[in-house]
């Protein structure tokens, strides 16, 4: 898989014989390779995942990978699991049986989890990832190097509710809205995914006539507020015209009639002419408004049929590879863009944004896979001091290097994961935040716990949250203050699977920003000014978000944004010097290889900042912000 070290030319046999011997010794030492992946093979994987062929589409990746490898290396001992690594079956004891763990993941939650498991089991971990032409490899060893969570990584970009609901200004806002609408109509309804205009928003400028119309409408539709969106839609038989009217004509600034006229243009739109060139894929064409109205209508009908086929209570899950789901988001987002005066986007582009697609090719993955093995060999031969973080860049640096090694940093003594007694302070309003929010948004989402147990540090050890299902369910909707939690209270949160204890200091505050439920004190503040245009916010999930179940290809391609702390320069032209000088270099003025502290601005071929991962090709969690080369 990936790069195999090539055979030596005869004349250099002597020089390399030691390396080869080492490799052979080391390889002989591999008693087995365990491969775990929850995903199945998709046709879009075939451009780079060379262990899979067309005939394998739909099958388990780990299983087929094993079969393909055995074809050319029959003596390899490979154990394949079609499963999520976050399954509690894979406990610390499971991890302890390995000499080395290599990650090839595509989401932050799983990376955090494996990071903790490897810390708990004290097993070296090789982290990696790729995105387009870029790639990165690094080594994590408890007590020796930084862990994956030592440096705060920026959370995926989210947009304020009012931007999505009232004042979209960019296509991405409309796309997010369309995905919310999908969930409201066909999927799991989520209180955080409101689509209707927020009348409480002071910035919403209702025109007088509009305001009056709304007042009337709300009187008539008074009942609607008590009925969920999905129930209401069902009651209309998912009538596209009614849905359209409710969701698109309700937007301010545009009256229904003018909007409807736009669907029956007298002349051909300019975009129709542009699309005639054969320089574009069908999906890359931008259609006219009427076509998107038709597509909306068509996809609503299809999706309502799919929903009807489901068992009672079951909902649809949005999947970029499901044509109707993608049609729906494409059309709904474009109609909204049109309403708000933005140029519409092609299905191709919308799919990228809605589906968090990271472009990927075989060669980058091959390079990174090779580097992973090389770092692995160093570890296995007891030379972890020679391990490095290595960046694969798009262009050579001033020293003409494309591959740039950087010294590994020691652990952060204040790391909220790998410090000896991790502690954080969380700012929130104890009268507003519920126990469920604490569990789901804070402990699971923010602090990446999988099955948290929480007790109050009140001398009585009062249990607030139990990881055992049902035990503390009654607490879920109660506020923290109900339990006497106030400013200065300490909570002890444990995840026994991860062997992780986190002490949380509660900082009560009543002046958090709108839409912000909590803040972790000490987190890097949001950037002011130019921001990279980032794709969908983290509470948008594609298919099965947490990947907890073995799934079909509805598993997210990637849903993560990590910062690349890529100081690329800094090594001399002689690779050997790295070992001698890297530490010293860190202190030198103008040193470029300072490890993971500064963030370069990276230019991306597409304005995407998520990493892609495929099992066979090691990919990397990139925190890719904008980099100016």
Write out the binding residues: 37, 45-48, 61, 84-85, 106-111, 147, 150, 415, 418
Restricting to residues 524-563, which ones interact with another protein according to CB under 8 A?
A: 530, 532-534
Catalytic positions, written as ranges: 162
Residue 570 CB neighbours (<10 A): 24
Per-residue binding letters, 567-606, with another protein (x by CB under 8 A): ----------------------------------x-xxxx
Closest listed residue to residue 338, CA positions, set 295, 274, 303: 295
Restricting to residues 242-301, which ones interact with another protein according to CB under 8 A?
A: 278-285
Scored b (16 or more CB within 10 A) or e, 255-284 reads: eeeebeebbeeeeebebeeebeeeeeeeee
Restricting to residues 172-231, which ones interact with another protein according to CB under 8 A?
A: none
Beta strands at 403-407 and 423-428: parallel, antiparallel or unpaired: unpaired
Question: Which residue positions form the known binding site for Zn(2+)?
Answer: 147, 150, 415, 418
Q: DSSP code of 56?
A: G
In the complex, the smallest distance separating the C-beta of residue 605 from another protein, rounded to whole angstroms, is 6
Rounded distance between C-alpha atoms, residue 66 and residue 82, angstroms: 11
The tokens of 456 are what?
Answer: 């109050």
Of 7-15, 230-238, 384-392, 412-420, the segment contacting another protein by CB under 8 A is 7-15
Of 68-76, 226-234, 303-311, 510-518, the segment contacting another protein by CB under 8 A is 68-76
Under the criterion CB under 8 A, does residue 167 sit at the interface with another protein?
Answer: yes
Collect all residues with Cβ–Cβ distance below 8 Å to 308 and sequence separation of at least 6. none
By the 10 Å C-beta count (0-12 exposed, 13-18 middle, 19+ buried), 528 is classed as exposed
Restricting to residues 316-345, which ones interact with another protein according to CB under 8 A?
A: 340-343
In the complex, the smallest distance separating the C-beta of residue 346 from another protein, rounded to whole angstroms, is 12
**DSSP three-state, residue 74:** coil
Cβ proximity to another protein: between 170 and 499 the closer is 170
Cβ proximity to another protein: between 385 and 471 the closer is 385
In the chain the first and final C-alpha atoms are separated, in Å, by 31
In the complex, the smallest distance separating the C-beta of residue 110 from another protein, rounded to whole angstroms, is 20
- Residue 60 has phi, psi (to 5 degrees) of -70, 130
Restricting to residues 393-452, which ones interact with another protein according to CB under 8 A?
A: 394-396, 398, 400, 402
In the complex, the smallest distance separating the C-beta of residue 606 from another protein, rounded to whole angstroms, is 6
Rounded distance between C-alpha atoms, residue 97 and residue 83, angstroms: 18
Sheet strands (E) in 163-282: none
Of 29-37, 103-111, 164-172, 190-198, the segment contacting another protein by CB under 8 A is 164-172
Restricting to residues 21-60, which ones interact with another protein according to CB under 8 A?
A: 43-44, 46-48, 50, 53-54
In the complex, the smallest distance separating the C-beta of residue 608 from another protein, rounded to whole angstroms, is 8
Q: Name which position in 361, 384, 419, 548 contacts another protein (CB under 8 A).
A: 361
- Residue 421 has phi, psi (to 5 degrees) of -130, 85
In the complex, the smallest distance separating the C-beta of residue 108 from another protein, rounded to whole angstroms, is 20
Cα 506-507-508 angle, rounded to 5 deg: 110
CA dihedral sign, ordered 367, 368, 372, 378:
positive
Q: Name which position in 357, 454, 456, 493 contacts another protein (CB under 8 A).
A: 357
- Residue 98 has phi, psi (to 5 degrees) of -100, 150
Cβ proximity to another protein: between 219 and 277 the closer is 277
């Amino acid at each position: 898989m990936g790069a195999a070290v090539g055979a030596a030319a005869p004349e250099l046999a002597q020089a390399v014989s030691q390396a080869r011997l080492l490799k052979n010794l080391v390889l002989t030492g591999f008693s087995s390779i365990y491969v775990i992946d929850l995903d199945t093979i998709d046709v879009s994987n075939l451009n780079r995942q060379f262990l899979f062929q067309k005939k394998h589409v739909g099958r388990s990746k780990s299983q087929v990978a094993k079969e393909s490898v055995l074809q050319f290396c029959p003596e390899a001992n490979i154990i394949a699991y079609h499963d999520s690594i976050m399954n509690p079956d894979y406990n610390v004891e499971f991890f302890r049986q390995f000499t080395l763990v290599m990650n090839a993941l595509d989401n932050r939650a799983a990376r955090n989890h494996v990071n903790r498991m490897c810390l708990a089991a004290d097993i070296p971990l090789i982290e990696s990832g790729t995105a387009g032409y870029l790639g990165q490899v690094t080594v994590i060893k408890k007590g020796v190097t930084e862990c994956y969570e030592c440096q705060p990584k920026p959370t995926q970009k989210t947009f304020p509710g009012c931007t999505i609901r009232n004042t979209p200004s960019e296509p991405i806002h409309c796309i997010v809205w369309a995905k919310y609408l999908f969930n409201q109509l066909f999927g799991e309804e989520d209180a955080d995914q409101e689509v209707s205009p927020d009348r409480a928003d002071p910035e919403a400028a209702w025109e007088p006539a509009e305001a009056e119309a709304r007042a009337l409408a709300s009187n008539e539709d008074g009942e609607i507020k008590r009925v969920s969106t999905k129930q209401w839609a069902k009651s209309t038989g998912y009538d596209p015209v009614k849905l359209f009217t409710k969701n698109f004509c309700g937007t301010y600034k545009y009256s229904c009639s003018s909007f409807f006229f736009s669907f029956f243009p007298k002349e051909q739109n300019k975009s129709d002419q542009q699309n005639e060139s054969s320089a574009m894929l069908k999906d890359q064409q931008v259609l006219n408004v009427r076509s998107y109205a038709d597509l909306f209508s068509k996809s609503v009908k299809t999706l309502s049929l799919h929903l009807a086929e489901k068992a009672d209570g079951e909902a649809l899950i949005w999947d970029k590879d499901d044509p109707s789901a993608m049609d729906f988001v494409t059309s709904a987002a474009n109609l909204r863009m049109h309403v708000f005066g933005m140029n519409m986007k092609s299905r191709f582009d919308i799919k990228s944004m809605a589906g968090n697609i990271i472009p990927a090719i075989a060669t980058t993955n091959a390079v990174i896979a090779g580097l992973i093995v090389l770092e692995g060999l160093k570890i296995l031969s007891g030379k972890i001091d020679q391990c490095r973080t290595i960046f694969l860049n798009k262009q050579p640096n001033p020293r003409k290097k494309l591959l740039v090694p950087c010294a590994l940093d020691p652990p952060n003594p204040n790391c909220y994961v790998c410090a000896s007694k991790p502690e954080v302070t969380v700012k929130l309003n104890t009268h507003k935040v519920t126990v469920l929010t604490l569990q789901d948004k804070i402990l699971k989402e923010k602090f990446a716990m999988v099955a948290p147990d929480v007790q109050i540090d009140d001398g009585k050890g009062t249990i607030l949250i139990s990881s055992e299902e049902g035990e503390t369910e009654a607490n879920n909707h109660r506020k923290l203050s109900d339990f006497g939690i106030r400013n200065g209270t300490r909570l002890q949160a444990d995840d026994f699977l991860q062997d992780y204890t986190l002490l949380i200091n509660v900082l009560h505050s009543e002046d958090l920003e709108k839409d912000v439920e909590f803040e972790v004190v000490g987190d890097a503040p949001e950037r002011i000014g130019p921001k990279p245009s980032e794709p969908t916010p983290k509470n948008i999930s594609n298919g099965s978000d947490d990947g907890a179940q073995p799934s079909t290809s509805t598993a997210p391609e990637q849903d993560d944004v990590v910062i690349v702390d890529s100081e690329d320069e800094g090594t001399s032209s002689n690779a050997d010097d790295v070992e001698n000088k890297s530490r010293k270099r860190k202190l030198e003025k103008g040193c470029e290889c300072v490890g993971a502290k500064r963030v370069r601005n990276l230019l991306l071929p597409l304005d995407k900042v998520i990493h892609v991962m495929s099992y066979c090709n090691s990919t990397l969690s990139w925190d890719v912000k904008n980099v100016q080369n």
